Amino acid sequence: MMIPGKIARWCASICLLGMTFPGFAAERTVKVCVRDEKGGALVGAVVRSGAQQATSDPSGCVAIAVIGTQSMIEISHDGFSPIKQAAGGGTELDVVLRVATISSTVEVTAARMPLALDASASSVRNIDSGELKEIPGFALDDRLRQIAGFQLFRRTSSWVANPTSQGTSLRGLGSTAASRTLVLSDQVPLNDSFGGWIHWNEIPELAMRQVEVMRGGASDLYGSSAIGGVIDVIPVIPGEGRLQYGLNVMGAQEDTSTVSGLLAGSVRGWSGLGASTLFRTGGYVLTAPESRGAVDIPANVHSQNGRIEIRHGLGTDGTMFLRGNLLNEARSNGTPLTTNATRIWRYIAGADWNDSEAGRFLLRLHGMNQGYRQSFSSVPAGRNSEKLTRLQQVPSAQLGASGQWARAFGPVTAVAGADVLDTRGTDAETPVSNSVLQATVSTSARQRDAGAYGELLWQPRSWSVALSSRVDHFASFDAKQIGATPAPTLPEIAETLFSPRLGVVKQLRGGLSLTGSAFRAFRGPSLNELYRTSQVGQQVTLANPALRSERATGWEAGGLLNLHRVGSVRASYFWTQVNRPVAAVTISSTPTSSTLQRQNLGQLTSKGITLEAEMRPISFVVLKGGYQYADSTVTKFQADPTLVGKWTAQVPRNSGTLEARLEREKWGTFGVYLRTSGHQFDDSSNQYRLAGFAQVDLYAEHGFTRWLKLWTSVQNVGNERIEAGRTPLLTLGAPRIVSAGIRLQ
């Protein structure tokens, strides 16, 4: 078995070979100068060439490395229409960007949204490749927490958390382990096929190019799970006639290390990519010091992921590809007898084709196979002993397909598509009594979501009006249980759901746009919620095979102000009401343990405001900030009226983020990141309060050449005590963590 040191040397050797690979042209530097239509210099324009990215200085110019005369350079700037052109044979390149209008920025993206950000009624936040590298953290969810309103099921990140607690939510809607937010990549959903939680470390670190977070209901285009919004992980695509390589080696406290590598290139119409991340951590003890006993040990994880992709061009404006992705991980959950492991094989075939007359076509065929196992134990008061109580095996498989067509007819753009997702899963439970395995009870079931959608986008002058809708048939069926006496009769659930959405944007003078939208959305219950008993710490949550889908109705209104050459400010008010939300309701509890059951809770309502700003007061400083106020409460529950008025579990009223980033070529990069949250409750009864916190992270980087950089970061600089969960045992978030690494690209 290869150890990380050998992997690092192997990746470095590959990269050094790539720099001298004879099949590619020599690297050279081109000075790119970006102007507006009046000839003025555009400060802060983003210039990309392959995997490299740079920002124009006060003169509007920037130097960037290219390979060959046909190497493509992309230039973009807020408020202007982006362009792409070949580098050519000269040493300088003058580029003129035109002020963006609604009609010039229409683009059907991988996120199925035919609008650029300044013409979208949705509240969207992008994290580009630079931020993904620089925001301190070990996994993608660590970095996404820098977006105001992004909430994890509990405050513990995925680098030590049990996978079944890695749910997420937006817009103050909360979650159980299953997410009320859909996470996808290149049209393929990444939410766990059985449980709906997120494996945040599934995609190799260097294979992620950008992340788009769209807040607000989106079932009109995506179907189930998109109640709070959609998170789209945009992958790195190989191609454009050059060799791409990257290596990131990191070491940190708590016996933590990462080795990430990427190698990609193309020749004669074919292109390929290989990427991998190896991660390990000794972790830390989750249990609060005042409650720890002899059984409490660090929660840790060893994980490996990998991706291989092959592409081939179809004419001048099309491509087809095959992609395979693997995640393998093993975890300790904080005591000697509680462990889990996951292995996911994901495979995707796709094609994209664009014709000026026929329109744009997209096709995806995908599948995955997953194996998951977990062990559970009981720990008495004092936490000095432990007994194994149950073993679980949860295999699952999923097949899916999606197709989409889009075409512009003058000021109208039409989008139509359909998709289907078929999931099969089994939960095999083996009780353990006095160290003796008992008879296994196995529950298997099948679930299918099939839907068709359409959208019309009308853009007369300064208006943008988008009307979209989708019809889904969501069903859970073929449920059966083997090993139980007597064998229960498990109900079948079938629902047909209609999800419309209307979005309107009005552009005014001075860079101001007013936005408004209204929607219906839904989330079907996962196989995990229907059939599997779960446990976190000493909190046991029972399944409920009679659960029905959650239905949401909502609207939001706001505005976006583009400040010429300075930045932008966005504000919105949102209101979302979820009927039949699935929540874990406490059935019984003791000072050391509690039993809950998943139930359709009646109704919850979340309303509040979101504020976001991005400023560049001087050319080498970027400031970003965000704030969310979310008043999220239970508004109806006939089975237990005492819950009405209670806060939605896992949702704070106030949360905010702030970051300041300084970058100069001579100095390097320095960033300060603040994340704060008010208090929240861990349970629907609001018995277990989690205190608010404020956390500061630091990042510093210095480049010795264009391709070699050293960096360091500190997470939780003040070693803030962060209350992550009460199950009812108090667990804590990560302490201060210092990291350092080397980046080659």
Checking if the pLDDT of 177 tops 60, the result is yes
Q: What is the CATH topology of the domain spanning 220-448+476-737?
A: Maltoporin; Chain A (2.40.170)
Checking if the pLDDT of 5 tops 70, the result is no
pTM of the shown model: 0.84
Checking if the pLDDT of 476 tops 90, the result is yes
Per-residue pLDDT at 489 = 86
Percent of the chain exceeding pLDDT 90 equals 58
Between residues 303 and 121, the one the model is more confident about: 303
Between residues 409 and 23, the one the model is more confident about: 409
Confidence bin at 606 (pLDDT 50/70/90): very high
Are 488 and 480 contacting, i.e. CB atoms less than 8 angstroms apart? no
User: What is the CB-side half-sphere exposure of residue 235 using CA atoms within 13 A?
Assistant: 25
Amino acid identity of residue 236, one-letter, is V
Host H or E run for residue 7: helix 4-19
Per-residue pLDDT at 117 = 44
- End-to-end, the C-alpha distance of the chain in Å comes to 26
Reported as a single tens digit per residue, the pLDDT across 351-400 is 999 888 888 899 999 999 999 999 999 999 889 999 999 999 999 999 99
- Mean pLDDT value across the chain: 87
Checking if the pLDDT of 466 tops 60, the result is yes
Per-residue pLDDT at 684 = 84
Q: Which two tokens stand for residue 177?
A: 């382990």
Q: Can you name the residues that pair with 558 across neighbouring β-strands? A: 515, 572
Are 106 and 116 contacting, i.e. CB atoms less than 8 angstroms apart? yes
Choice among 150-159, 259-268, 329-338, 340-349 with the minimum mean pLDDT: 150-159
**b (16+ CB within 10 A) / e for 500-513:** ebbbbbebeeebeb
Nearest to 588 by CA among 538, 518, 516, 646: 538
DSSP 177-213: SS-SEEEEETTEE-B-TTT--B-TTSS-GGGEEEEEE
Strand pairing class (181-185; 229-235): parallel
Q: Is 239 helix (H, G, I), strand (E, B) or coil?
A: coil
Q: Which two tokens stand for residue 578?
A: 């979820």
Between residues 84 and 350, the one the model is more confident about: 350
Checking if the pLDDT of 136 tops 80, the result is yes
Identical topology for domains 27-99 and 220-448+476-737:
no
Per-residue pLDDT at 89 = 67
Q: Can you name the residues that pair with 329 across neighbouring β-strands? A: 303, 342
Checking if the pLDDT of 690 tops 90, the result is yes
Which of 403-417, 438-452, 529-543 has the highest mean predicted lDDT (pLDDT)?
Answer: 438-452
Nearest to 128 by CA among 78, 81, 175: 78
Domain map (residue ranges) of the chain = 27-99, 220-448+476-737
Q: What is the mean pLDDT of residues 615-641?
A: 92
Alpha-carbon span 46 to 245, nearest angstrom? 21
Q: What is the mean pLDDT of residues 98-109?
A: 40
Choice among 153-157, 534-538, 585-589, 693-697 with the minimum mean pLDDT: 534-538
11: left (phi over 0), alpha (psi -120 to 50) or beta: alpha
Per-residue pLDDT at 51 = 60
Checking if the pLDDT of 504 tops 60, the result is yes
Angle at 700 (CA atoms; ends 696, 701), nearest 5 degrees: 155
Alpha-carbon span 711 to 713, nearest angstrom? 7
Are 154 and 650 contacting, i.e. CB atoms less than 8 angstroms apart? yes
Q: Residue 333 phi/psi, 5° resolution?
A: -100, 15
Per-residue pLDDT at 39 = 62
Dmax (CA) of the chain: 81
Residue 315: how many CB atoms within 10 A of its CB?
A: 9
Q: Which CATH architecture has domain 27-99?
A: Sandwich (2.60)
**b (16+ CB within 10 A) / e for 274-292:** bbbbbbbbbbbbbbbeeee
Q: Is 297 helix (H, G, I), strand (E, B) or coil?
A: coil
Nearest to 612 by CA among 667, 665, 574: 574
Q: Is 290 helix (H, G, I), strand (E, B) or coil?
A: helix
Checking if the pLDDT of 673 tops 60, the result is yes
Are 294 and 240 contacting, i.e. CB atoms less than 8 angstroms apart? no
Confidence bin at 440 (pLDDT 50/70/90): very high
Checking if the pLDDT of 313 tops 70, the result is yes
Alpha-carbon span 659 to 720, nearest angstrom? 18
Alpha helix stretches (DSSP H) within 496-580? 527-531
